[in-house]
Structure 1
Amino acid sequence: MSLDGARKPGAPDGRPDQAIAHANGGSTVQVLQNGASAAPPTYLTHRLRLNPNSDHRPDNYEDLDLEFSPSIFSSLERYLPPNLLQQARDVKVDYMREILRRYYPESERVRLQKHREYRQKIISNYQEKRSITAPSLSSQRLHLELYSMHPTNFFVPSFLKAINENTEQAFRNIMSEPSPGIFTFEMLQPRFCEMLLAEVKNFEKWVHETKFRIMRPNTMNKYGVVLDDFGMETMLEKLMVDFIRPISKVFFPGVGGSNLDTHHGFVLEYGIDRDVDLGFHVDDSEVTLNVCVSRQFSGGELFFRGVRCDKHVNTETHSEEIFDYSHVPGRAVLHCGRHRHGARATTSGKRINLVLWCRSSVFRESRKYQKDFSSWCAECQHEKKERQRLSVAAIKMVF
């Protein structure tokens, strides 16, 4: 559902993604042939192509110490202007970094660096072995298999079969689409859900005992944990790339589903002594995966109210956009991050959900150049049809 910076309709975007930045900071300076240095060109001259060069093979950036995730640079490279594609890697890095910095002013890059240090401190202390000198203050990871991807242990066979076939029909065979743009399907095995719940409980206990400060998933939730913060980043990255991106490429191509390159993964907790509900909002994601992992609860239904761009996020809901969804343990809900939604009150028990926000740097950059979002925003579609209707009516009046 939501996470780092879940956005209420009409409110500013929340905090930038924690997973997108890898930190180090500082800018490079171009050196001319005569040895003089030149300031890098202003970012106003930097923009991506709307359509990628599908035949181009991007460079690998894993060996560079970059302030942004190396995978983002590889993802963006196909969208560079043609004259840049054959340039040296450092030239392309400078160009793409200038684009990426539009998202993150200096203050945000400092905050992201601090968060990276916080995450590294957590992971270095929350390890597999208990401390001999202070066993009560060092917690053993309960289920090491959660920290790497084990598809046959995580997913139900029907989901794995569809992913292996990797066709639209295979995906539709396991999916329901109860409302346009909302897909539900069986995904997680009960054993995986049990292990995840136990690991989160163990981590929260360790945080309490060690008095570490825990960072919550977003600005709207007071309970829950960021899974990347205690070591699951690699597993969640594979979940996005190998299992969610193939589906998103088919069903969400218009909102960056083909180019998902960063994620934010977390668990949310709802109940009488936790967050009870969640207000109406849109996610800071291109595609959102939401899976219920608990069993004993009542209430907590999701309510959806249509997909909107920033301009139309507060517009009225059309009757055909109204849809409510009741959670089923292990069953996934996949939807566009811009699909307005919220969660009703959990009236008994505790509802716990695994949420993965998947983002596309390419889509976020290209969206800056576009004015017409009628391919995915329902209100843009309505306005476009109305303009066409008026145009036809005006032509008829002339003749």
Structure 2
Amino acid sequence: MKILIDVGFWGFVQRHREYRQKIISHYQPVHKELYTMQAAQFFVPSFLKAINENTEDSFRSIMAEPAPGIYTFEMLQPYFCELLLSEVETFERWVIETNFRIMRPNTMNRYGCVLDDFGLETMLDKLMEDFIRPMSRVFFPEVGGSTLDSHHGFVVEYGTDKDSELGFHVDDSEVTLNVCLGKQFSGGELFFRGIRCDKHVNSETQSEEIFDYSHVPGHAVLHRGRNRHGARATTSGCRVNLLLWCRSSVFRELKKYQKDSSNWCGECQREKKERQRQSIAATKLELLKRDGKPTS
């Protein structure tokens, strides 16, 4: 049997590997302590305690769930935020000074950088595996929360002289961690509008799915990547956020064969409930007809 190889894809993988290696071999980090996980220095004690206890009760003790499936909690020490902001600023200066052309985090953000590209991949892997996956196993099992095995880690920057807002979209992730690093800013609220599968991504929003969130430095938002959202304009100052798109190859493979997404898509759930309601109504009507009772 002849095996067909997608040369274009593997060519991209090889080019990206070379691109990343070129950065890592030339860029000199200024805060080397960032590049290995130092949990006690990075995270607030309440977050660490909850992770160490590793129970749903311990997670919920530090969290608010202001809307279904959206969790907010204090996470990062100011020390870590300052260090990461400084490292990103240093990296961006290096990019300008060396005239190095970098890949931006995604197609929607013109400012910010991919943290994995300049050496932080191992630390962010640890963040996903030891801190985000335990919570996702509890709160997002239906979208592969227990099998998260890869990530895309980056920072985005918003301000009057940068991207000011972010359009309505879904993330290329099963679970998204979004943490504000600072600095001084106003505006920039996140707005959520409900979880959708590909089929229903443009369907109407229900009133119970509407939620707006105001960023607080050091505080995290954890949500399903398919929860439709955007960011309102940052009207003054500069806002920088750390994002970790966490992915599950197992879930993505299984999803190829699933026709029903009603265990996580809000619109699929509504359609399923409506079908059940109609089926029950039809059954009742049929029973009434058999009994000879009036149906109106």
Q: Which deviations, in whole Å up to 9, do the C-alpha atoms of 1:95-124 show, x marking residues without a partner?
A: xxxxxx8xxx43222112111110000001
Look up the match of 1:151: 39
2:26 paired with 1:125: yes
Distance in 2 separating the partners of 1:222 and 1:388 = 46
Structure 2 unmatched runs, 5+: 288-296
Q: Matched residues in 2 for 1:222 and 1:39: separation?
A: 42
Distance 2:196 2:117 in 1: 31
Q: Distance in 2 between matches of 1:347 and 1:220?
A: 19
Superposed CA deviations along residues 159-194 of structure 1, whole A, max 9, x for unmatched, are: 000000000000000000000000000000001000
Aligned pairs for 1:191-340 (under 5 A) are 191-340=79-228
Q: Distance in 1 between matches of 2:62 and 2:255?
A: 32
Q: How do 1:1-399 residues align onto structure 2 when only pairs under 5 Å count?
A: 38-39=1-2, 105-127=6-28, 141-399=29-287
3-state DSSP of counterpart to 1:310: coil
Secondary structure of the 1:303 match is: strand
Name the SS of the counterpart of 1:219 in structure 2: coil
Question: C-alpha offsets along residues 123-170 of structure 1, whole Å, 9 cap, x if unaligned?
Answer: 01113xxxxxxxxxxxxx221010110000000000000000000000
Q: Write the distance in 1 (CA, Å) between the matches of 2:154 and 2:41.
A: 20
Q: Distance in 2 between matches of 1:228 and 1:352?
A: 17
Where 1:332 maps in the other structure, the secondary structure is strand
Corresponding residue number in structure 1 for 2:290: none
Q: Secondary structure at the match of 1:247?
A: helix
2: CA distance between counterparts of 1:205 and 1:339?
34
TM-score of the pair, normalised by structure 1: 0.71
Taking the aligned partners of 2:14 and 2:128, their CA distance within structure 1 comes to 23
Structure 1 unpaired stretches of 5+: 1-37, 43-100, 128-140
The alignment partner of 1:237 has SS state of helix
- Give the SS at the match of 1:216: coil
Q: What is the letter of the counterpart of residue 187 of structure 1?
A: M
Letter in 1 for 2:25: S
Q: Equivalents in 1 of 2:87, 2:185: separation in Å?
A: 20
| Matched-pair identity in % | 74
Which TM-score applies when normalising by structure 2? 0.95
Q: How many residues align structurally?
A: 287
Report the Cα offset of residue 311 of structure 1. Answer: 0.5
Task: Report the alpha carbon displacement of residue 239 of structure 1 after superposing the two structures with TM.
Answer: 0.3
CA offset at residue 347 of structure 1? 0.2
| Partner amino acid, structure 1, of 2:15 | K
CA RMSD of aligned residues (A): 1.1
**Runs of 4+ residues deviating >6 angstroms:** none
Q: What SS does the aligned partner of 2:156 have? A: strand
1:27-53 C-alpha deviation (Å, 9 max, x unpaired): xxxxxxxxxxx546x9xxxxxxxxxxx
